[in-house]
Amino acid sequence: MADKNEPIPVARPTLGEEEAAAARRAILSGWVVQGPEVAAFEKEFAALIGAPGAVACSSGTAALHLALLALDLKPNDEVITVSSSFIATANAVRYVGATPVFVDVELETGNMDANLIEAAITPRTRAILTVHQLGLPCDLGRILAIAQRHKLPLVEDAACAIGSEIRLAGGDWEPIGRPRGLLATFSFHPRKVITTGDGGMVTGGDPEIMARLARLRTHAMSLSTAERHGSAKVRFEQYLEVGYNYRLSDIQGAVGREQLKRLPGLVAARRRLAARYRETLAGNPHLTLPREPDFARSNWQSFWIILQDDAPLSQVELMQTLLARGIQTRRGVMCAHREPAYRDLPLRRPLPVSEIIEDRSVILPLYPELTEGDQDRVIATLTEILR
């Protein structure tokens, strides 16, 4: 029986003896920086989702930055994206000197509203950066069609979406990250479905772009560490452009390989728990619940609720009351445009749905080890408070 006094975290990574043994293997190998374990992790990741290629890096933010560097954006270029995302999405656009142009999102999915994209396109638009929000796939079919019609590259911020699936018109289910656009990016932060402590991945199909990204993550060196190490001759590298220190360690790569083996079970557990939340909270008159469109299967990296206008508590009051009863939550998706760092960026148009999601959404505990007893405690406590 669940302990009524034991705190329930909002998230918890699934790590075990297999990951510990993999880290030990890498440590004892003598090669702990980016090397053979990372190379194997990239190969196995790409194979798992059916991507032609994958480049590992130090974080999901680094992955986004690398992906946008591949577009060779210039100052005053514009990238259509969403404000309703972790701030790294908008920040990565600014890292390359471009301007994020925000469009609003759908209430029940949190994803970019495809109906609003074409009105945001200007002569300076150079790309679309869409997000699969909290693991729930966006309307990729429609967004891709718009990008193709306007000859714009499409980058998918799939930070939360490893294990999620999408079905495009007339097709079969396929994993998010098998790029339909130019590139897709992932995060391995501890709150994501799989983790390497921190880390990221870029997937794509253009071998020249992927080779360039592999160089850029290591200061744009012309020779990799493995090439220099394995050479029978003394060779000196060159630095072909300004690059970055975005390497993933081999210790992390080894852990990532074990996490990939767990992925099907992790996603299945998350889907089961999300279904229980949906079934038990569906009738609550004070809540709007997330919705999977017919074309999407979420990995349920997070499960969120949105408080309706007539809810008896505000977002902060609800979260504080739950915390006092030992249940951790998090605010739902933030809005970049409301942060001090973005006050100098004028909005082209209002973002009312994005602001509702920031002000009224709450992320509930969800992780594979969450017991049904603890989940029942979350549901019962939430229902009682909302009465």
Task: Region of 56 please: left (phi>0), alpha (psi -120 to 50) or beta.
Answer: beta
Amino acid at 260: L
304, 332 contact by CB (below 8 A): yes
User: Strand pairing of 125-131 and 78-82?
Assistant: parallel
- What's the rounded Cα separation, in Å, for the pair 271 and 99? 36
CA dihedral (203, 205, 207, 209) positive or negative: negative
The DSSP result for 310-323, as a single string, is T-SS-HHHHHHHHH
SS3 call for 147? helix
Residue spans of beta strands (DSSP E) within the chain: 53-57, 78-82, 99-103, 125-131, 154-157, 165-167, 173-175, 183-187, 200-204, 287-288, 296-297, 303-307, 330-331, 361-364
- 279 burial class (0-12, 13-18, 19+ CB within 10 angstroms)? exposed
Closest CA to 185 of 168, 199, 174, 165: 199
Supply the residues annotated as catalytic: 192
Question: ∠ CA 168-290-364 to the nearest 5 degrees?
Answer: 130
- Two tokens at 103? 């469009």
